[in-house]
Amino acid sequence: MSNIRKGKGVSWKMNTRGSYTDMSVKGFTIDHLDTKSISEAETHYEEVFIRVRKLLSEKPWCCDNREDVLSICQAVSDELKDNLLIRKD
pLDDT along the chain (89 residues), means of 10: 87 88 92 95 92 83 79 88 77
pTM value? Answer: 0.73
- How far is it, in rounded angstroms, from Cα 58 to Cα 48? 15
Q: Are strands 2-6 and 9-17 parallel, antiparallel or unpaired?
A: antiparallel
43 located within any domain? yes
So what's the pLDDT on residue 21? 87
What angle do helix axes 66-82 and 44-58 make, rounded to 10 degrees?
Answer: 140
* Residue 37, CA atoms < 13 Å, CB-side half-sphere: 1
24 located within any domain? yes
So what's the pLDDT on residue 40? 97
Number of domains in the chain: 1
Quote the domain boundaries for residue 57: 2-82
33 located within any domain? yes
E strand segments, the chain: 2-6, 9-17, 22-30
So what's the pLDDT on residue 81? 87
87 located within any domain? no
